[in-house]
Amino acid sequence: MTSLSSAVALPSSCRARPASGSRRARLLVTRAAASSPKLQNGRRLRVAVVGGGPAGGAAAEALAKGGVETVLIERKMDNCKPCGGAIPLCMVSEFDLPLDLVDRKVRKMKMISPSNVAVDIGRTLAPHEYIGMVRREVLDAYLRSRAQSAGAEVVNGLFLRYEAPKEPNGSYVVHYNHYDSSNGKVGGEKRSFEVDAIVGADGANSRVAKDMGAGDYEYAIAFQERVKIPDDKMVYYEERAEMYVGDDVSPDFYGWVFPKCDHVAVGTGTVTHKADIKKFQAATRLRAKDKIEGGKIIRVEAHPIPEHPRPKRVAGRVTLVGDAAGYVTKCSGEGIYFAAKSGRMCAEAIVAGSANGTRMVEESDLRKYLAEFDRLYWPTYKVLDILQKVFYRSNSAREAFVEMCADDYVQKMTFDSYLYKRVVPGNPLDDIKLAVNTIGSLVRATALRREMEKVTL
């Protein structure tokens, strides 16, 4: 998921480039640690990637291209994660995604306050700019197939556990249930294999994280319904997405209506009131009633979403990426880009540390990926955490937030930061004006809240 509430200058990591039908080769630096032993008998480093979402698919592809023997294990090949499905423009070019993966190009975002004040966002976008809307089952399958084409082995199975090596540079043993419809075993066949390293990309409920003692984290519950609405109503959502804020739709998040290929995704999420998620979902449907009336629910989805990175993300030659590591931003709920990016960065660190699969990797190689990822994105996570605490704490604060979103400068800074994942240089005078307007909005919101409390009393 994502939202325009990520109105913050983000660290630079990519630039928008014209999409290309051919995939560009990535040049990987291959600097192995001096103490890293060379693998014997001509064998290649072997890595298990557990989980076949954006993080796992991107990791497996980069590993296979870098000369590492790669096995990707995915439990459900047609998994439909309840995800808003928004991706930044830079992801299309950076990950060489074909444009037919993008169901809708959102150029208009409507923010709706608790009192149903609506603000249209998108006036500052250039003609070629958009937020891409994808279906996870389509994107994930594409990334897995690309990893397979690069040389990775893709296995349909359920990861169970791993055994750590008993000696330095020993092998990890991966245990899993192998699914094969031809053998007639409904529960799968228990199998195991040895690897040199493990990349846990198995989502918020990561079994790899549990095995490595990564620690717990707070999580949100995302609930989403895919709704097939009449064609005449679908026209409204052709290039438009909606976000609803208010205690009725979520006490600490937002409700959304995001367009897909031939339907819309209507959903909400919460950390603090998980038991009330269906009540919040009903409120989201009610707020969007006029625009989705006559629609038919074709799929219902629910899934946990991490709220912050795990306390531990690497142990020995095992590491975590994507949701398993906790890489979902507060306030906006964005996770797809950061999942794919972390998967690729982790894989490139392994390729470099192993000299293209010819040497054993060490924990220090995996920690290089963590250090670089944190350097690039940790400020983003912290700032969005602060924004969520400031603007999602009450209905009056949400009214102030929506009011701020009407400002063209806020819109431009927001879209530039989100679409390109780069530091956006602001105009100092406009920055001062924005600060003053923000303070003014919060003061008005506080005054409104106090007046409402008097009426309530």
Of 258, 316, 262, 255, the closest CA to residue 286 belongs to: 255
pLDDT band for position 15 (50/70/90)? very low
What is the phi/psi pair of residue 300, to 5°?
Answer: -120, 135
| Cβ neighbours for 159, distance < 8 A, ≥ 6 positions apart | 50, 51, 73, 75, 174, 175, 176, 202, 207, 208
What is the phi/psi pair of residue 79, to 5°?
Answer: -60, 130
pLDDT for 422: 65
Least confident of 130-139, 257-266, 434-443: 434-443
- Judged against a pLDDT cut of 50, whether residue 303 lies above it is answered with yes
pLDDT in tens, 336-362: 999 999 999 999 999 999 999 999 999
Of 274, 334, 336, 340, the closest CA to residue 302 belongs to: 274
Q: What is the mean pLDDT of residues 57-85?
A: 91
- Judged against a pLDDT cut of 50, whether residue 24 lies above it is answered with no
- Judged against a pLDDT cut of 60, whether residue 446 lies above it is answered with no
On the 0-12 / 13-18 / 19+ scale of CB atoms within 10 A, 150 is: middle
- Judged against a pLDDT cut of 90, whether residue 426 lies above it is answered with no
Angle between helical axes of 336-353 and 136-149 (0-180°, round to 10): 20
**Domain spanning 218-304: which superfamily?**
D-Amino Acid Oxidase, subunit A, domain 2 (3.30.9.10)
- Judged against a pLDDT cut of 70, whether residue 444 lies above it is answered with no
Q: What is the mean pLDDT of residues 65-71?
A: 98
% residues pLDDT > 70 (the chain): 83
Alpha-carbon dihedral of residues 38, 43, 49, 54, nearest 10 degrees?
90
Per-residue CA distances from 435 to 50, 383, 431 (Å): 45, 15, 6
Q: What is the mean pLDDT of residues 32-40?
A: 74
- Judged against a pLDDT cut of 50, whether residue 8 lies above it is answered with no
The pLDDT mean for the chain works out to 85
Q: What is the mean pLDDT of residues 412-434?
A: 64
pLDDT in tens, 188-234: 899 999 999 999 999 999 999 999 999 988 888 999 999 999 999 99
pLDDT band for position 28 (50/70/90)? very low
Extract long-range pairs of 432-439: CB within 8 Å, 24+ residues apart.
433/409, 434/407, 434/409, 434/410, 437/404, 437/407, 438/400, 438/404
What separation, in Å, do the N-terminal and C-terminal C-alpha atoms of the chain show? Answer: 38
pLDDT in tens, 88-103: 999 999 999 999 999 9
CB 252 within 8 A of CB 388: yes
Give the position of tokens 């994930």.
140
Interatomic CA distance for residues 132 and 340, integer angstroms: 15
More confident residue, 383 or 335: 335
pLDDT band for position 82 (50/70/90)? low
More confident residue, 419 or 436: 419
Per-residue CA distances from 3 to 8, 20, 388, 411, 417 (Å): 12, 27, 12, 12, 12
> Which CATH code of 2.60.40.10, 3.50.50.60, 3.40.50.720, 3.40.720.10 fits the domain covering 39-84+134-217+306-389?
3.50.50.60
Q: What is the mean pLDDT of residues 419-428?
A: 62
What b/e readout covers 294-329, taking b as 16+ CB neighbours within 10 angstroms?
ebeeeeebbbbbbbbbbeebbbebbbbbbbbbbbbb
What value, to the nearest 5°, has the Cα angle with vertex 204 and ends 198 and 207? 45
Interatomic CA distance for residues 284 and 243, integer angstroms: 9
pLDDT band for position 381 (50/70/90)? confident
- What does the domain layout of the chain look like in residue ranges? 39-84+134-217+306-389, 218-304, 390-454
pLDDT for 29: 45
Amino acid at 219: Y
Give the position of tokens 């444009």.
99
pLDDT for 416: 81
| Cβ neighbours for 244, distance < 8 A, ≥ 6 positions apart | 112, 254, 255, 256, 257, 284, 287, 288
Alpha-carbon dihedral of residues 110, 113, 116, 118, nearest 10 degrees?
-30
Least confident of 2-6, 91-95, 139-143: 2-6
Least confident of 59-73, 100-114, 145-159, 367-381: 367-381
pLDDT for 441: 52
- Judged against a pLDDT cut of 90, whether residue 140 lies above it is answered with yes
pLDDT for 7: 36
What value, to the nearest 5°, has the Cα angle with vertex 178 and ends 175 and 181? 170
